[in-house]
Amino acid sequence: MHQGIPSMSDTNSAHLQIFEVPIGGMDCAECSKHVQSALESIPGVCSTTVYLAAEKAVISADPSLVDEDHIRAAIQSAGYTVPDTLVLKDQSSTEDLSRRIKIAYGLIVAVVLAIAIFGEWMGVLDRLNGMVHPLLGAIIVAIAGWPVLRKVFHALSQKTIIAQTVMSLGVFGALIIGEWITALIIVFFMRVGDTIESYTTNRARSSLKNLTTMIPRTACVLKDGVENVVPIEDVGVGDIVLIRPGETVPVDGVVRSGQAAVDQSSVTGESLPVDVYQGSHVYAATIVRQGSVQVRTTRVGGDTTFGHVVRMVEEAEANRSEIQTFADKFSGYFLPLVLLAAALTYIFSRDPLATVAVLVVSCSCAIALATPIAMLASVGAAAKHGLLIKGGKYIEALARADVLLIDKTGTVTFGEPRITDILPVNGYTADELLRMTASVEAYSEHALAEAVIHTAREKHIDLEEITDFSSTPGGGIQANYQGSTVRVGNERFIARESDNSILESLETLGKTRLLVSQDNILVGVLDAADTMRPEVPEALGALKGLGVEQMMLLTGDNQETAESLGAQLQIPYRANMLPEDKIKIVEEFQSKGHYIVMVGDGVNDAPALAKADVGIAMGVAGSDIAIETAHIALMREDWSLIPQLFEIAHRTMGVVKMNLAFTGVFNLLGITLAAFGILPPVLAAAAQSIPDIAILTNSSRLLNQ
């Protein structure tokens, strides 16, 4: 068992200890509720959360009253297992074997179904039933169905009901009336249904499993110039880790030396590799495609950005949507309804086989699976694209959203200066001016220096070596560049000996200017501003087509800046907004019955993000605060992801509604046919697996979003 550490987040919980426990055998939502009930019954347990997709439970307990043995015993008494260690299997090595097993399993099911149908029709099953003593037949049924029946007995001992309880009543009913062959076939299809449910859940949690296997188990640490391959658990903050071409980055850190192209799709969802160099941040679970780097470790294990991603995906099922909560509650009332239908069937028909068939055909597990399977599939698939959704209720709210509130700085705009214009004079080209300026700015710590260097990198311009660098606060910088004195700064700092018409033409644009001179002769101007992200207008247009009826820009900037940006986006705006003002806007729309989505940077917009029905934080890779604040986190700064989120939400809710509708219609039709004697128990047993297969097939479409 994997034991956690005491929670030190506040003084009230300092005496509690967190246990993180792997659990085997959970197949559906009812299983997780069963485990949670068993754990919460332990004296000293304060809170329990069971994660079906992650196959684990997180328990907060008093360590003086609860230990690992208590937890293990409770889980095992509920009918589930606690493995000593979690063995990660190589999916590629077992894929062919898995496919062959599924084909063989399908053939067995088809053969048994054919025997059951034709045997029932030709009377063979009745003759076979009479050849075996009922007691021996009951023993055969008990042995064949023990793996499933055991779960039912454990559930009953805990005074809870699971999906297989209803069908088990059908098995006992068949045995009571002497139809052990019918009971045996029902048990067989119970096992089939159990397998399908396990496969359905495993398919939904496959994205999460793929995530958890992406971080390497070892790292190459440099100590005193010597390479040492050590377990990832032994890597500490500050250690220097060497990553070569083709290797996966094992930690979060900052590049100390080297240069590489890194595939960051596992964290940000970005499909193209990103160039990293000295000072760049790299993240665990990303892959070095070309080059090699030495990285100074800043975070390891669960504290890495990727660790936060995995934890958010695991915890997503704790935030259930309204429709999922409804389905869970309905499952609790399902058994009494089925028992009532069976009782009425016997009262009016006096047909015990029809009564058994009513019990057998009912599919409560399908109702419980209809919503969480779709939600888990969407949350896991979205995570692969850098979209972290904290739970099903936010998917449902996003599908209903009709108002979008947008922060400006860092959300609509980049939140930092970018070079917008390069205006060379006196015979220089734009590239020559940029190379000269960036070479000098490479030694500066000014905010505009990074903007200049960023532009040079985008244009693949190599920088030159400089000497005699100096800086004048409030003025600019100068250095010796290829034998001449180059100065970069404001107008007061630069001595100008050329036409000022270029400068005068920029006066009304509201941008920050960098003047560049060479040997006291003006050679160009670089124009910088906090610019709008180019993909924003197209994204807003797409959102209007996805049901977002109203949009509004909220900014703390002045009226003129807000008006200019609002005009570009063609949406209303509010200027001079404080954080509390943004909350009032959210509340104003909510009071009118609207569902609100707030998009911000996840830090200074935290109150409004939390108040909105769905708060979306942009570009939060590496930011703990932003990931914890928002309901949905975008790992990269790309507005095209937001329409994609809305599309995922609409598609997911469509699948959920289809799952629930099909399951409801199937149960109503199946119970009706069984009650009238049209659907015999054998065929009812075979039919009860149909909703699980339908839900799997329908929900699997969401895995490939």
pLDDT in tens, 63-95: 888 888 888 888 887 778 776 543 333 333 334
* Crossing angle (nearest 10°) for helices 392-400 and 322-349: 100
Task: Please name the helix (run of DSSP H) or strand (run of DSSP E) that holds residue 439, with its range, or none.
Answer: helix 430-441
State the Cα–Cα distance between residues 549 and 175, nearest whole angstrom: 60
Task: Tell me the residue length of the chain.
Answer: 705
**Residue 683 burial (CB count, 10 A):** 22
Distance of CA 93 to the CA centre of its chain: 26
SS3 call for 81:
strand
pLDDT band at 434, cuts 50/70/90?
A: very high
Query: Which residues are part of the catalytic machinery?
Result: 407
Side-chain half-sphere CA neighbours of 685 within 13 A: 27
Mean pLDDT, the chain, whole residue set: 79
pLDDT top residue among 20 and 241: 241
pLDDT digits (tens, 9 = 90+) for 378-402: 887 887 788 888 878 899 999 999 9
Res 624 pLDDT > 80: no
State the Cα–Cα distance between residues 574 and 593, nearest whole angstrom: 21
State the Cα–Cα distance between residues 585 and 608, nearest whole angstrom: 9
Looking at residue 437, its amino acid is T
pLDDT digits (tens, 9 = 90+) for 203-253: 555 555 555 667 788 889 998 888 888 888 889 899 999 998 888 899 999
Strand 403-407 to strand 596-600: parallel, antiparallel, or no bridges (unpaired)?
parallel
State the Cα–Cα distance between residues 366 and 687, nearest whole angstrom: 12
What CA dihedral angle connects 78, 83, 86 and 91, to 10 degrees?
A: -70
CB 414, CB 447: distance < 8 Å: no
Residues 6+ apart with CB under 8 A from 474: none
List for the chain the helix, strand, coil content (%; round to 5): 50, 20, 30
pLDDT value at position 52? 65
Res 107 pLDDT > 60: no
pLDDT value at position 365? 67
CB 582, CB 610: distance < 8 Å: no
Percent above pLDDT 70 for the chain = 78
State the Cα–Cα distance between residues 662 and 683, nearest whole angstrom: 19
State the Cα–Cα distance between residues 604 and 282, nearest whole angstrom: 25
Residues 6+ apart with CB under 8 A from 340: none
Q: Average pLDDT of 52-57? A: 69
258 strand-pairing partners? 293
Q: Which residues of 149-173 are buried (b: 16+ CB within 10 A; e: fewer)?
A: bebbebbeebebbbbbbbbbbbbeb
Side-chain half-sphere CA neighbours of 676 within 13 A: 6
Structure tokens at 674: 């069984």
CB 359, CB 304: distance < 8 Å: no
CB 181, CB 137: distance < 8 Å: yes
| Cα dist from 72 to 36, 86, 151, 630, whole Å | 13, 15, 17, 35
State the Cα–Cα distance between residues 173 and 258, nearest whole angstrom: 73
Strand 3-6 to strand 418-424: parallel, antiparallel, or no bridges (unpaired)?
unpaired
| Cα dist from 328 to 153, 616, 652, 654, 661, whole Å | 21, 28, 18, 18, 15
What CA dihedral angle connects 151, 310, 232 and 69, to 10 degrees?
A: -30
Q: Which domains does the chain have, with CATH numbers?
A: 3-77 (3.30.70.100), 92-206+314-374+652-704 (no CATH), 216-303 (2.70.150.10), 390-414+533-645 (3.40.50.1000), 418-529 (3.40.1110.10)
pLDDT top residue among 407 and 302: 407
pLDDT digits (tens, 9 = 90+) for 277-329: 888 889 888 888 888 899 999 988 878 878 877 776 666 656 666 776 666 66
Instruction: Please give the backbone phi and psi of residue 235, each rounded to the nearest 5 degrees, phi first.
Output: -85, 130
pLDDT digits (tens, 9 = 90+) for 343-367: 999 999 989 889 888 888 876 666 7
Structure-token match 């209007």, residue found: 544
Instruction: Please give the backbone phi and psi of residue 479, each rounded to the nearest 5 degrees, phi first.
Output: -160, 165
Q: Highest-confidence range of 16-25, 183-192, 434-443, by mean pLDDT?
A: 434-443
Q: DSSP secondary-structure letter at 271?
A: S
